[in-house]
Chain A
Amino acid sequence: KQEVTQIPAALSVPEGENLVLNCSFTDSAIYNLQWFRQDPGKGLTSLLLIQSSQREQTSGRLNASLDKSSGRSTLYIAASQPGDSATYLCAVRLWEGGSEKLVFGKGTKLTVNP
Chain B
Amino acid sequence: AAGVIQSPRHLIKEKRETATLKCYPIPRHDTVYWYQQGPGQDPQFLISFYEKMQSDKGSIPDRFSAQQFSDYHSELNMSSLELGDSALYFCASSLGQTNLATNEKLFFGSGTQLSVL
Contacts and interface: CB of A to CB of B under 8 A. Distances in A.
Please indicate whether A and B come from the same complex rather than being unrelated chains. Answer: yes
Interface of A: 31-32, 34, 36, 41-46, 49, 51-52, 89, 91, 93, 95, 99-102, 104-107
B56 A99 contact: yes
Q: Top 5 closest A-B pairs, CB basis?
A: A43-B110, A44-B108, A99-B56, A104-B42, A31-B101
- If over half of A's interface residues share one DSSP class (helix, strand or loop), that class is named, otherwise mixed; here it is strand
Nearest to A106: B42
Contacts of B109: 43
B90 interface: yes
A44 B55 contact: no
A46 B56 contact: no
A42 B45 contact: no
Interface residues of B, number: 26
B105 A46 contact: yes
Contacts of B113: 41
Residue of A52, A91, A104 most packed against chain B (CB within 10 A): A104
Given A41-B113, A42-B111, A104 B43 contact: yes
A107 B55 contact: no
Interface in B62-117: 88, 90, 92, 97, 99, 101-103, 105-111, 113
Given A32-B102, A43-B4, A44-B92, 14 more contacts: A31-B101, A36-B108, A42-B110, A43-B110, A44-B43, A51-B101, A52-B101, A89-B43, A95-B99, A100-B55, A101-B56, A102-B33, A106-B42, A107-B42
B93 to A, nearest CB: 11
Contacts of A31: 101-103
Nearest to A32: B103
Contact of B41 (A44, A49, A106): A106
A99 to B, nearest CB: 4
